[in-house]
Amino acid sequence: MKLFSILTAAACALVVSACASTPAPTDERVHVMEANEAAEIQPGNICISAEAANIFTFRDVESEINENGYLAVRVFGKTCELSALKWAFFGDIDYEFAYRFYWLDADGNLVSEQEAFRPRSTTPGNPVRFVGHAPTEECRGYAFELCMASEIPSVSDNAEPADRETIESEAAAESEAAAESEAAKAEKEMIEGIVPDLPEQNVTGDKQDVKVIGIPDKDADSVPKAVPADKE
């Protein structure tokens, strides 16, 4: 009975802690939000709820103006792994996140209406990437907000496929494109090997009895033909 109580208490502690206590941010761009705290909308800010910060570790962010003149942003991170003990209690699980971007102009002012949260699902220990595209060409800055889906009821049941599946799908598409390119190249080389070079001028056959007439004039109605040499 005492052993059962100890195991039950340990399980409860694991559920509450999830991965670990909230780590201190190591990047000045990262701002951990306490419960009910609003995101700090400043250019380049990465705002993460305290609950999500227990699970998600921010790694880097990339931003660029794409060929169409719109700002594109990619936020990279990784989820924490489950220990053997936690896996024994929880088994295979998915982490359900909710995220959104804020789009700012060159002066740091919001350009468009606040986006709704989007769902994202990923597994423990898995790299994860959040991608956003600005709605207008006026956008030149951004801020990012990340929470657990359970903190945003409207998205808690609509998680996207795990990022691992997305990466595998992209890699498969690139591999298929490369294979098609190699196949096209091989087919071209095969055709070039089969089709002989056309003669640039008339030549006489080895037996001196047939003369081969080469490429006709482009406006001619006839096609190349062979005629007996004694008929010339």
* pLDDT tens string 87-120: 556 667 889 999 999 999 999 999 988 889 999 9
Strand partners, 48: 32, 146
Q: What angle do CA 6, 151, 52 make, to 5 degrees?
A: 70
Residues 162-218 pLDDT 10s = 444 544 454 455 455 555 556 666 666 666 666 555 554 544 445 455 454 455 555
Predicted confidence band of residue 122 (pLDDT cuts 50, 70, 90): very high
pLDDT at 96: 94
**170: Cβ contacts below 8 Å, ≥ 6 apart:** none
Structure tokens at 181: 């390119």
Residue 227 DSSP code = E
121 phi and psi, to 5 degrees?
-115, 140
What local confidence, expressed as pLDDT, does residue 169 receive?
53
Lowest mean pLDDT among 56-65, 115-124, 141-150, 166-175: 166-175
Rounded Cα distance between 166 and 19, Å, is 25
CA–CA gap between residue 115 and residue 105 (Å, rounded) = 15
Give the residue from 36, 37, 33 showing the smallest Cα distance to 47: 33
The rounded radius of gyration (Å) of the Cα atoms in the chain is: 33
d(Cα 77, Cα 26) in Å, to the nearest integer? 13
18-160: in CATH 2.60.40.3230: yes
Which amino acid is it at 220?
Answer: A
* Residue 90 token pair: 């929880």
Kindly report the number of other CB atoms within 10 A of residue 155's CB atom.
22
Whose tokens are 């951990």? That residue is 32
DSSP assignment of 209-227? SEEE--PPPTT-SS---EE
Tell me, what amino acid is at 227? V
Is the confidence at residue 232, as pLDDT, over 70? no
Helix, coil or strand: residue 209: coil
Place of tokens 């986006």: 115
**pTM score, whole prediction:** 0.58
What type of residue sits at position 148? M
Cα–Cα distance for residue pair 83/123, rounded to 1 Å = 13
Predicted pLDDT of residue 227? 53
Residue of 27, 25, 100 lying closest to 60 (CA atoms): 27
The domains of the chain are located at 18-160
Q: Which of these, 155, 152, 149, lies nearest to 95 by C-alpha position?
A: 149
